[in-house]
A and B are shown apart, each in its own frame.
Chain A
């Protein structure tokens, strides 16, 4: 006999919980749903576009009746639940329907706050909450002329905008002197008011409503101090209140909302609650992302998985009034310790304010140009130290570094056919279609369904914008980014655990951190393998099956399943002898393409897997070793000819490049690691877009770090100036070791430095001489283990050679 689950409230939070539950444990419960409205589950956020005539009711349905039926859910629409007998565990609806439960989920949402002025009970005085309210407004627009909206917040302005589009003469009455004072500072609030006035809305600011006048139906509104204006409809949008009527009645502990713990459980352990009706750690939420986060946690506990805690949310707001671009997040008022960065251009209609405290973003308000809203919001959520790029912060993500793939247009102005994700060829139209037809709400969902931003991730901000403008409300919960779907812990937590608890095997890590999968996934296995070998170079037994194929086969897999092979050329220097050997290999194994790489090496393409050991043996015989062009490891050290030949050269850049490469080759890093040494500031080796770059000057060596020539071009930051080659090598080893010990797997040095801040890296490498020396020492110790030629090792292990061949040939 299955247990019975009853959901009270057929809205977004409650039904989302069911969706999550069905994913985890489809057969755990007999489910019954009660909804007070006569409709199926719809997207309440999109009522504003429905009112504005931009969408229809059927556009905003999230789950049709077919969905309830096919999941075996009994649906009671139009039946308000009036009581719950917690002793007998029964839910009682208005019409007498009784449903027994083993677990109860309350998601009664919120109700509009109706200001109790005289006349508030007249016909035509409504809130803005459900489809019925929208119908009433549309009806009023057909028959009447004058609309009054009380409340100049988000909801009120959206209602006013919709009513005006429907042809009504709309006056917004607001108690405060600027609009949306909870989301906007006075400056941006006034800009918003001005642009809405240009669209034809009227405003009565700092005005208090005294009475609503009329016999049965509303006729006019009177304000304090006397004046009156005519009204055929009055929309009360003075805020919402958690709907705790039922919760209170049945004796659950309520304050402002129904109080729940981190597992969304009320004071009655059989009763859970999610959504706008709950109060969690003293907070109530009215935005969709927090509700969905709650839904996920609640579903997990209903499915008896018993993991996952809801820890509260940071929210952001976007106003859904077509033609008005507005974004707000966090605390934008600040206090004595906070600092403001403000940009204002009244004639362009642009206003941006970023509030900082201790170099971290506390809040942001943007008006007119909200392209970077998602980016600021992410920096805020992640608590990123922005000191390294504070001077260009205001100009947005596209101005980080020198140039690159970042220059994006505002999502809203893009055509449907415009490509958003260049890696996977996904256009805006496809993303919008997936969001609307599949009911997607999070960036992860969009990524899974469309692949947009799933590869290099450079379009994530743009996809988030499209999501925000399509869904209408988009706010992400603070990212405690788990390492992967197999565990609850972050990269940092896992790394720390590996060191502190002496975890020296994959199995030990998975057991300690309670992995949900027996042997991980394709994301966490390579990450753990790296973290383990970085922490325990001697103790850890490397696991080839947890490495990506390129590191298992010591060559780069190509799209047709063949491999490419790159021998090492120290500092980019080669000899006729090596070139002859390479040419012989190319002839002997019918290499299809011979390519000179960006890192000054030669790449041989189209080699069959079974030929790899023979190719390596031939290259080894000519004195060449693996170039690690396939690894999350030291790739190449690019050099210019330097003082040996060049008339401008100040130092022996080639010689230093070779020394650096001989010191660092074979080392594993969180992501690939590229170096270069230029002989003078003309910088022919392009050292300032490398992970570690040396620019020689007359007095010594400038050491630059964190450059990247990839998706976002990022010029390096200057780490230090040193006088000798020995110092350059010590700094280089120490920097690599710090990155190895603290970078997240698959995080290049550029985002790593942006995450931890250049100051931090300087403190550890430059200011702390002892620390630098011990980092360098640890680097050398690790090199004693890992610096060997994997090709020679594979060639020598004759029993391994079979592994490169098919196990069997049939027919």
Chain B
């Protein structure tokens, strides 16, 4: 189990929006839904690698800005009938601060 990494304040991520965490092995999108749930996905659409963090967040999904694939934020799975998966990462929010765990699955 790897450690929780402090990302920043929840306020810095817009509601129904996302911010990017840069890592040595590519970007991770940190998404915040309307009801303040926070999710993290590899910022790479399973379709053609579009930056999911730049998409429109609705419900617990994000729509890729390149070709409109819908991705479930909780699982990283593409919404049927599209097929594919973006790696997901664990997140938690404590005292208004967002934390991320880098061991993706």
Residues of A within 8 A of B (CB): 448-449, 455, 517-522, 525-526, 544-546, 548-549, 552-553, 557, 559, 561, 802-803, 806-811
A-side contacts of B55, CB under 8 Å: 522, 549
A-side contacts of B30, CB under 8 Å: 807
Q: Which of B48-93 contact A (CB under 8 A)?
A: 48, 50-51, 54-59, 61, 63, 65-68, 70, 81
A-B contact pairs, 19 of them (CB 8 A): A518-B34, A519-B58, A521-B59, A522-B70, A525-B56, A525-B58, A545-B57, A548-B65, A549-B54, A557-B51, A807-B19, A807-B20, A807-B30, A808-B5, A809-B21, A809-B23, A810-B22, A810-B24, A810-B102
Instruction: Tell me if A553 and B54 are in contact (CB < 8 A).
Output: yes
Docked CA distance A520–B23 (Å): 32
B-side contacts of A549, CB under 8 Å: 54-56, 65
Instruction: Tell me if B65 and A559 are in contact (CB < 8 A).
Output: no
B39 to A: closest C-beta gap in Å: 14
B17 to A: closest C-beta gap in Å: 5
A527 to B: closest C-beta gap in Å: 12
- Name A519's contact: one of B13, B22, B34, B65 (CB within 8 Å): B34
**Known contacts A522-B70, A559-B48; A807 and B27 CB within 8 A of each other:** no
Instruction: Tell me if B34 and A808 are in contact (CB < 8 A).
Output: no
A659 to B: closest C-beta gap in Å: 35
Instruction: Tell me if A517 and B17 are in contact (CB < 8 A).
Output: no
Docked CA distance A808–B9 (Å): 11
Docked CA distance A448–B80 (Å): 8
Name 19 extra pairs, CB < 8 A, besides A545-B56, A557-B65, A806-B27: A455-B67, A517-B59, A518-B59, A520-B58, A521-B61, A522-B63, A522-B68, A545-B14, A545-B57, A557-B51, A557-B66, A802-B12, A806-B19, A806-B21, A806-B22, A807-B8, A808-B5, A810-B24, A810-B102
Instruction: Tell me if B19 and A546 are in contact (CB < 8 A).
Output: no
Question: Most A CB atoms within 10 A — which of B13, B15, B50?
Answer: B50
Docked CA distance A743–B14 (Å): 30
B-side contacts of A522, CB under 8 Å: 55-56, 58, 63, 68, 70
B69 to A: closest C-beta gap in Å: 10
Instruction: Tell me if A807 and B12 are in contact (CB < 8 A).
Output: yes
A-side contacts of B54, CB under 8 Å: 549, 552-553, 557, 561
Please name the 3 residue pairs, one residue from A and one from B, whose CB atoms are nearest each other, closest first: A522-B63, A807-B19, A545-B16
**Known contacts A525-B58, A545-B15, A557-B65; A810 and B21 CB within 8 A of each other:** yes
Which A residue sits closest to B21, measured CB to CB? A808
B53 to A: closest C-beta gap in Å: 9
A-side contacts of B16, CB under 8 Å: 519, 545-546
A-side contacts of B7, CB under 8 Å: 807-808
- Name B81's contact: one of A449, A455, A559, A810 (CB within 8 Å): A449
B-side contacts of A518, CB under 8 Å: 34-35, 59
A-side contacts of B14, CB under 8 Å: 544-545, 803
Docked CA distance A455–B48 (Å): 15
- Name B13's contact: one of A448, A552, A807 (CB within 8 Å): A807
A-side contacts of B81, CB under 8 Å: 448-449
Instruction: Tell me if B63 and A521 are in contact (CB < 8 A).
Output: yes
A510 to B: closest C-beta gap in Å: 11
Which A residue sits closest to B15, measured CB to CB? A545
Q: How large is the interface on B (under 10, 10 to 19, 20 to 34, 35 or more residues)?
A: 35 or more
Docked CA distance A521–B68 (Å): 11
A-side contacts of B19, CB under 8 Å: 803, 806-807
Which B residue sits closest to A448, measured CB to CB? B81
Docked CA distance A265–B55 (Å): 42
Instruction: Tell me if B22 and A809 are in contact (CB < 8 A).
Output: yes
Docked CA distance A268–B27 (Å): 59
Docked CA distance A521–B79 (Å): 13
- Name B51's contact: one of A449, A546, A561, A807 (CB within 8 Å): A561
**Known contacts A553-B54, A810-B23, A811-B24; A559 and B12 CB within 8 A of each other:** no
A156 to B: closest C-beta gap in Å: 38
B-side contacts of A449, CB under 8 Å: 81
Which B residue sits closest to A438, measured CB to CB? B81
A556 to B: closest C-beta gap in Å: 11
- Name B50's contact: one of A448, A520, A561 (CB within 8 Å): A561
A674 to B: closest C-beta gap in Å: 23
Which B residue sits closest to A521, measured CB to CB? B58
Instruction: Tell me if B21 and A807 are in contact (CB < 8 A).
Output: yes
Question: Most B CB atoms within 10 A — which of A520, A553, A806, A808?
Answer: A808
Which B residue sits closest to A519, measured CB to CB? B34
Docked CA distance A544–B27 (Å): 23
- Name B56's contact: one of A448, A526, A810, A811 (CB within 8 Å): A526
Instruction: Tell me if A808 and B22 are in contact (CB < 8 A).
Output: yes
Which B residue sits closest to A561, measured CB to CB? B51
Which A residue sits closest to B57, measured CB to CB? A545
Which A residue sits closest to B68, measured CB to CB? A522
- Name B20's contact: one of A517, A525, A806 (CB within 8 Å): A806
A-side contacts of B13, CB under 8 Å: 807
A-side contacts of B20, CB under 8 Å: 806-807
Docked CA distance A526–B58 (Å): 12
- Name A559's contact: one of B8, B15, B56, B66 (CB within 8 Å): B66
Question: Most B CB atoms within 10 A — which of A448, A449, A517, A521?
Answer: A521
Which A residue sits closest to B59, measured CB to CB? A517
Docked CA distance A548–B21 (Å): 21
Docked CA distance A634–B74 (Å): 38
Docked CA distance A797–B55 (Å): 23
Instruction: Tell me if B17 and A545 are in contact (CB < 8 A).
Output: yes
Instruction: Tell me if B59 and A519 are in contact (CB < 8 A).
Output: yes
Docked CA distance A561–B43 (Å): 10
A-side contacts of B67, CB under 8 Å: 455
B-side contacts of A517, CB under 8 Å: 58-59
Question: Most B CB atoms within 10 A — which of A449, A455, A557, A810?
Answer: A810
B-side contacts of A811, CB under 8 Å: 23-24
B51 to A: closest C-beta gap in Å: 4
Docked CA distance A340–B67 (Å): 43
A-side contacts of B56, CB under 8 Å: 522, 525-526, 545-546, 548-549
B4 to A: closest C-beta gap in Å: 12
Q: Which of B31-51 contact A (CB under 8 A)?
A: 34-35, 48, 50-51
A-side contacts of B57, CB under 8 Å: 545
B-side contacts of A802, CB under 8 Å: 12
A-side contacts of B70, CB under 8 Å: 522
Docked CA distance A552–B51 (Å): 14
A-side contacts of B51, CB under 8 Å: 557, 561
Docked CA distance A517–B16 (Å): 14
A-side contacts of B34, CB under 8 Å: 518-519
A-side contacts of B5, CB under 8 Å: 808, 810
Docked CA distance A630–B67 (Å): 16
Docked CA distance A292–B8 (Å): 51
Which B residue sits closest to A447, measured CB to CB? B81
A462 to B: closest C-beta gap in Å: 20
A368 to B: closest C-beta gap in Å: 36
B13 to A: closest C-beta gap in Å: 7
A421 to B: closest C-beta gap in Å: 13
A284 to B: closest C-beta gap in Å: 33
B-side contacts of A519, CB under 8 Å: 16, 34, 58-59
Docked CA distance A525–B63 (Å): 12
A434 to B: closest C-beta gap in Å: 9
Docked CA distance A181–B58 (Å): 52
B-side contacts of A557, CB under 8 Å: 51, 54, 65-66
Which B residue sits closest to A517, measured CB to CB? B59
Docked CA distance A549–B52 (Å): 10
Which A residue sits closest to B64, measured CB to CB? A522
